[in-house]
Amino acid sequence: MTDLPQRATSSRLDPYADRYAARTAGMTVSEVRALFAVAARPEVVSLAGGMPNISSLPLDVVGDSIKDLVLSQGPTALQYGGGQGDPVLREQICEVMRLEGIEAHPDDVVVTVGSQQAVDLVTRVFCDPGDVVICEAPSYVGALGVFKGYQCDVVHAEVDSEGLIPHALEQAIVSTKASGRKVKFLYTIPNFQNPTGVTMTAERRTQILEICRRHDILVLEDNPYGLLGFDDEPRPAMRAQDPGVIYLGSFSKTFSPGLRVGWALAPSAIREKLVLAQESATLCPPPFNQMAVSAYLSNHDWQGQIKEMREMYRERRDAMLDALEDYMPAACTWTKPDGGFFVWLTLPAGIDCKAMLPRAVTARVAYVPGTGFFADGFGASSMRISYCYPTPERIREGVRRLAGVIEAEMEL
């Protein structure tokens, strides 16, 4: 087991510091959060946020179905519900997952408060302090926060343009085992990964599953962006190939993040533990929100709505890639996502994107520095830029401003 974080001693700033649990040492404030408040000003083009653009949602349809929900099913929707989640919604979730080739039974689905809570519950169920979770390098900052919060050690394995690299995974597993630590699971985002936008190829998916099977390692497949690909057909999920995979889904990107409805699909023994963990965390996921999602799926052409969203995001992706091509210095490289929200931009080694951020904000553009997506301090010369929220014109202007800041930085 590795050294666990030390408990802080009390100070005049925080008189309670010596009473907190050791795990709070892993709960750190984002160093760039303060700047994001500045970046939210209207004159700044924010390429930082990952907020879904829900402007095309039919608010009249949503409003009518919520009113109808209260009037016709209020006593159920406004009451406590089961810890596993609404049975009707769990059936609908199975239909959603069928689009990615998953055949699942509603009994094996647990509804969660966003897929963020699903990451938390899986970690709570599997990880003791010092256990290892293998994550892509880079990986989703919100999941890294959960793993740190449970005092796990994150071991990274590299990603390239085809997704997680099989021999990097194998190496991470072997070296972790050699150090006497337990690998509890691999956390992967195979589709339009946050933060790189990269998608794992079909061949890699099979290889990664084979490696995990051979080493007896669970796979946690986090897939909030799977239906937001710019190709016609969603790619088959890893869970479609292997029923031992724990799969996480969400309605945040395809409907509403404000309702906080996501889910986990897991082998039944694990699912039972997840339900117990869910009951102790929240008693039950919110029935009202679940039934609102369920009504939306029943009353609206949700697949048509997702198609519209994909077209909007594709146009924004195109605007970003065109602007990068037109404005970025030749020494910069970037990923070319075919779905989701994000591009990963890498600058020449030696440029520190975190140190550069205040200068970018002064130039009225914001991004997320790369280091937040690594548990080990890497990523200094990279950044995540997202195209989901600003208009194509603003994206182009934002990239133009960013290129100017980078050029000036390269001359320093």
Q: Which lies closer to ligand PMP via its Cβ, residue 141 or residue 217? A: 141
Question: What is the smallest separation between the CB atom of 139 and ligand PMP, expressed in angstroms?
Answer: 8
289 near ligand PMP, judged by CB under 6 A = no
Interaction mask 31-70, ligand PMP, x per CB under 6 A: -------------------x--------------------
Site string for ligand PMP, 141-160 (x = CB under 6 A): -x------------------
Q: Which of 121, 235, 241, 139 is nearest to 187 (CA)?
A: 139
Q: Which stretches within 165-201 are classed as H helix?
A: 166-178
Q: Which helix (H) or strand (E) holds 214?
A: helix 202-214
Q: Which stretch binds ligand PMP (CB under 6 A): 29-37, 108-116, 323-331, 364-372?
A: 108-116
Beta strand pairing call for 246-250 and 342-346 = unpaired
Residues 6 or more apart whose Cβ sits within 8 Å of residue 22: 4, 5, 6, 7, 129, 151
Q: Are 202 and 236 in contact (CB under 8 A)?
A: yes
Under the binding rule (CB under 6 A), the answer on residue 123 touching ligand PMP is no
Contact map string, positions 194 to 233, toward ligand PMP, x by CB under 6 A? x---------------------------x-x---------
Decide: is 114 part of the binding site for ligand PMP (CB under 6 A): yes
Q: How far is the CB of 199 from ligand PMP (least distance, A)?
A: 13
Q: How far is the CB of 64 from ligand PMP (least distance, A)?
A: 24
Least distance CB 203 / ligand PMP (angstroms): 22
Judged by CB under 6 A, which of 84, 92, 116, 151 binds ligand PMP?
Answer: 116
As given in the structure block, the two tokens for residue 57 are 């949602």
* Residue of the chain from 262, 287, 370, 398 that contacts ligand PMP (CB under 6 A): 262
Residue 250 near ligand PMP by CB under 6 A: yes
Coil/strand/helix, residue 137:
strand
DSSP string, 227-284: T-BSSSSPPPPHHHH-TTSEEEEESTTTT-GGG--EEEE--HHHHHHHHHHHHHHHSS
Category of 386 on φ-ψ map: left (φ > 0), alpha (ψ -120 to 50) or beta: beta
Smallest separation, CB 379 to ligand PMP (Å): 16
Output the CA torsion 248→92→228→302 (10° steps). Answer: -150
- Using CB under 6 A, which of 109, 110, 135, 189 touches ligand PMP? 189
337 binds ligand PMP (CB under 6 A): no
In this chain, which stretch among 70-78, 101-109, 114-122, 234-242 interacts with ligand PMP, using CB under 6 A?
A: 114-122
Distance CA 124, CA 45 (A): 38
Query: Binding-site residue total for ligand PMP (CB under 6 A)?
Result: 14
From 17-25, 111-119, 348-356, 357-365, span contacting ligand PMP (CB under 6 A): 111-119
Instruction: Say how many CA atoms lie within 13 Å of 29 toward its Cβ.
Output: 6
191 is an interface residue for ligand PMP by CB under 6 A: no
Beta carbon of residue 262, minimum distance to ligand PMP (angstroms, whole number): 4
Element of type H or E holding 70: helix 59-77
Q: Which amino acid type is present at position 360?
A: A
- Cα 118 to Cα 408: distance, rounded to the nearest angstrom: 43
Q: Please choose, out of 76-84, 113-121, 205-213, 315-323, the segment that lies near ligand PMP by the rule CB under 6 A.
A: 113-121
* Residue 110 touches ligand PMP, criterion: CB under 6 A: no
Q: Is 194 helix (H, G, I), strand (E, B) or coil?
A: coil
Residue ranges binding ligand PMP (CB under 6 A): 50, 114-116, 140, 142, 189, 194, 222, 224, 250, 252, 257, 262
